[in-house]
Structures are given as structure tokens and as C-alpha cells.
């Protein structure tokens, strides 16, 4: 069964989600929700899905990535759950095209921290620390943004926004340095929202 993924403009995507207690995480309702989110993410297909994207303002997200690309420092990441994440940004910035299942049909260049540290609860409600870099760090920042009511369009270089069709037509394979060489519309704050800071 797949859940409906809500689209930009839906108020729940702009709310700060509420944390879950460990007891709530292990309860059957949330365990079933995690399974439905996994199926919905696979069906989409996507590499991450946050609870607000299915209409629930909860600090819960699922992640799984089977892709590989040296260019984007992308390596496979197994299925896992993060709840109540606290994000710390590492040094360096990476810029790549990024999309979102809740902003269907578009991509844009989004600057993100190249590495991050995330403290969260896992699917059993147990504390975990994730040290990530490359594409995985991007996924984590994207999903944690969702839990704080933020979308990639708040952080993108606005003049790089393209439909998927036009991305394929004009931008696929173009080195990112070339794409952003003519872009001067990045003045966004890379830092996470206050709620995501420790």
C-alpha cells in the first residue's frame, strides 16, 4: 500500500514536526507507519521520505539509497529510520541538482554541507549517531529540513530551477561548476533552522 505524498503548498510541509517518544516509536502504529513509508518511498521512487510528506507532522523519516556516482559522492545506503534528529553541519559545501517528491517534476542546484553529524533515534527508539558525507549527507539535510518545515526551494539557486524534462534536455551531464558559473542568485543561509540546532 502506498500513501499519498502531499505537494508544496500543503500547510503540513511548513510546520515544525513534533518529536516522538521511544515508546511511541516501538508502538505498532508507528512501526506500521514506518513500513508504509518504506513502501511509499520505494514506489515513488525516492531515496528519502519524511512524515510531513504524507501529511503527518512527526519527526520521523525513512532513508534508503541504492544509487552510486563518483561525481556526486553517492554510495549505497541501507534502509533506516531517523526520529527526532539533531543536525550538526561539517566543513565544506557541495552543490548539485536536487529534487523533492513534494515539489514534483522539478530540480535545482542546492548548496549543502558536504558532511554532517546527526544524532537521532532509530526504528527501535534507540539513540544513534550518524556521520555522513557526500550524497548521504545531502539526503539527511533534505529530510531533516522537512521535519523543520523547510523545503529545498528555500535554499536553491533559484535561477537553476528546471523541470525534469528540461533538466534532461539541457543540463544532464553538464559539469556543476559550469551550471553555477553564471548563477548569482545564491544568498540563502545554509545553516539549519533554529529548531534543528542543538
- The nearer residue to Zn ion, 108 or 125, going by C-beta atoms, is 108
Would you call 143 a catalytic residue per the annotation? yes
By the rule CB under 5 A, 100 interacts with Zn ion: yes
Distance CA 71, CA 135 (A): 10
Shortest reach from residue 143's CB to Zn ion, in Å? 7
Nearer Cβ to Zn ion (100/120): 100
Q: Are 146 and 55 in contact (CB under 8 A)?
A: no
Please provide residue 123's backbone torsions phi and psi, each rounded to the nearest 5 degrees: -70, -10
Give min distance, CB of 184 to Zn ion, in A.
25
- Region binding Zn ion by CB under 5 A among candidate stretches 8-16, 97-105, 113-121, 188-196: 97-105
Of 9-17, 82-90, 93-101, 132-140, the segment contacting Zn ion by CB under 5 A is: 93-101
Pick 20 or 147: Cβ nearer Zn ion: 147
Size of the site for Zn ion (CB under 5 A): 1
| In the complex, least distance from residue 152 CB atom to Zn ion, rounded to whole angstroms | 7
Query: Which stretches within 102-175 are classed as H helix?
Result: 134-147, 164-166
Choose the catalytic residue: 4, 39, 143, 178.
143
* Residue pair 157/98 in contact by the 8 Å Cβ criterion: no
**Spatial CB neighbours of 46, under 8 Å, sequence gap ≥ 6:** 101
Q: Is 54 in the site for Zn ion (CB under 5 A)?
A: no
Which residue, judged by CB position, is nearest to Zn ion in the bound state?
Answer: 100
**Shortest distance, position 28 Cβ to Zn ion, whole Å:** 27
Residue 110 interacting with Zn ion (CB under 5 A) = no
DSSP string, 8-50: TT-GGGGSPPBP--HHHHHSHHHHHHHHHHHHHHHHTT-SEEE
Q: Alpha carbon 137 to chain centroid distance?
A: 9
Read off φ and ψ for residue 47, nearest 5 degrees: -105, 0
For Zn ion, give the closer residue by CB, 37 or 125: 37
Q: Could you list the residues that contact Zn ion (CB under 5 A)?
A: 100
Q: Which residues does the annotation mark as catalytic?
A: 143
Amino acid at each position: 500500500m502506498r500513501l499519498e505524498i502531499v505537494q508544496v503548498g500543503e500547510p503540513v510541509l511548513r510546520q515544525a514536526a513534533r518529536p516522538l517518544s521511544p515508546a511511541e516509536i516501538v508502538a505498532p502504529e508507528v512501526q506500521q507507519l514506518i513500513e508504509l513509508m518504506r513502501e511509499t518511498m520505494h514506489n515513488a521512487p525516492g531515496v528519502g521520505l519524511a512524515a510531513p510528506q504524507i501529511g503527518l507532522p512527526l519527526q520521523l523519516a525513512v532513508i534508503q539509497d541504492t544509487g552510486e556516482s563518483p561525481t556526486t559522492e553517492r554510495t549505497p545506503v541501507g534502509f533506516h529510520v531517523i526520529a527526532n534528529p539533531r543536525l550538526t553541519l561539517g566543513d565544506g559545501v557541495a552543490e548539485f541538482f536536487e529534487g523533492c517528491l513534494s515539489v514534483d517534476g522539478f530540480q535545482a542546484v542546492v548548496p549543502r554541507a558536504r558532511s554532517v553529524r546527526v544524532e537521532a533515534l532509530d526504528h527501535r527508539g534507540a539513540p544513534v549517531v550518524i556521520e555522513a558525507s557526500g550524497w548521504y549527507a545531502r539526503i539527511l539535510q533534505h529530510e531533516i529540513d522537512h521535519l523543520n518545515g523547510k523545503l529545498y526551494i528555500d535554499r536553491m539557486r533559484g535561477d537553476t530551477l528546471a523541470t525534469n524534462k528540461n533538466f534532461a534536455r539541457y543540463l544532464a551531464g553538464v559539469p556543476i561548476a559550469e551550471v553555477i558559473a553564471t548563477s548569482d542568485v545564491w544568498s540563502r543561509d545554509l545553516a539549519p533552522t533554529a529548531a534543528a540546532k542543538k
